[in-house]
Structure 1
Amino acid sequence: MTKLRQQDTTDDDHTTTPGPTREEAVLARMGTRMGFVYTAVPVVVFVTANLVLPLAVTITVALLAGAGLTVFRLVRGERWTSAVGSLVGVAIAAGIVALTGSAKNYFMVGIWAYFAGFVIALGSVLTRRPVTGVIWNFVHGGKYRWRTDRRVLRAHTVATLAAAGVLAARFALQQWLYINDNTSALGVARIAMGTPLSALVVIVIVWAFRRSSKQFVPKKADTGDGIGDTGHKPAE
Structure 2
Amino acid sequence: VSLVLVVVRLVMRDTIKHAFSGVFGVAFGVVFAMMTGNAKDFYLPGMLYTLGLALAYIITTLCGVPLIGLILGPVFKENLSWRTRNPGRKKAYAKASWAWGLILLAKCAILFPLYWWADTTQFGWVLIALKIPPFLLAVWLTWVFLAKAPAPIDVFAEMEAAEKAEQERKAAAGSAE
Normalised-by-shorter TM-score class: 0.7 to 0.9
Where does residue 52 of structure 2 map in the other structure? 116
Where does residue 139 of structure 1 map in the other structure? 75
Residues 212/196 of structure 1: CA separation in 2 closer, same or farther (3 Å cut): same
Where does residue 106 of structure 1 map in the other structure? 42
**Contact 2:96-2:141 within 8 A present in 1 as well:** yes
Structure with greater proportional helix content: 2
Question: Shift of residue 208 of structure 1?
Answer: 4.6
Question: Shift of residue 102 of structure 1?
Answer: 0.9
Tell me whether 1:187 sits opposite 2:124 in the alignment. Answer: yes
Quote the sequence identity (%).
23
Residues 78/205 of structure 1: CA separation in 2 closer, same or farther (3 Å cut): farther
Q: How many pairs does the alignment contain?
A: 158
5+ residue gaps, structure 1, are: 1-64, 227-236
Task: Map 1:154-193 onto structure 2 (within 5 A).
Answer: 154-193=91-130
Whole-Å Cα distance in 2 between the matches of residues 193 and 156 of structure 1?
Answer: 24
Whole-Å Cα distance in 1 between the matches of residues 48 and 100 of structure 2?
Answer: 15
Q: Deviations over 1:39-63 (max 9, x none)?
A: xxxxxxxxxxxxxxxxxxxxxxxxx
Where does residue 15 of structure 2 map in the other structure? 79
TM-score between both structures, scaled by the size of structure 2: 0.77
Whole-Å Cα distance in 2 between the matches of residues 205 and 110 of structure 1?
Answer: 23
TM-score between both structures, scaled by the size of structure 1: 0.59
Whole-Å Cα distance in 2 between the matches of residues 183 and 165 of structure 1?
Answer: 26
Where does residue 151 of structure 2 map in the other structure? 214
Task: Select the residue among 197, 205, 217 that pairs with 2:142.
Answer: 205
Whole-Å Cα distance in 2 between the matches of residues 80 and 146 of structure 1?
Answer: 35
Task: Map 1:16-35 onto structure 2 (within 5 A).
Answer: none
* Cα RMSD, aligned residues only: 2.6
Q: Deviations over 1:17-60 (max 9, x none)?
A: xxxxxxxxxxxxxxxxxxxxxxxxxxxxxxxxxxxxxxxxxxxx
Whole-Å Cα distance in 2 between the matches of residues 171 and 188 of structure 1?
Answer: 15
**Contact 1:136-1:209 within 8 A present in 2 as well:** no
Whole-Å Cα distance in 2 between the matches of residues 89 and 202 of structure 1?
Answer: 23
Where does residue 2 of structure 2 map in the other structure? 66
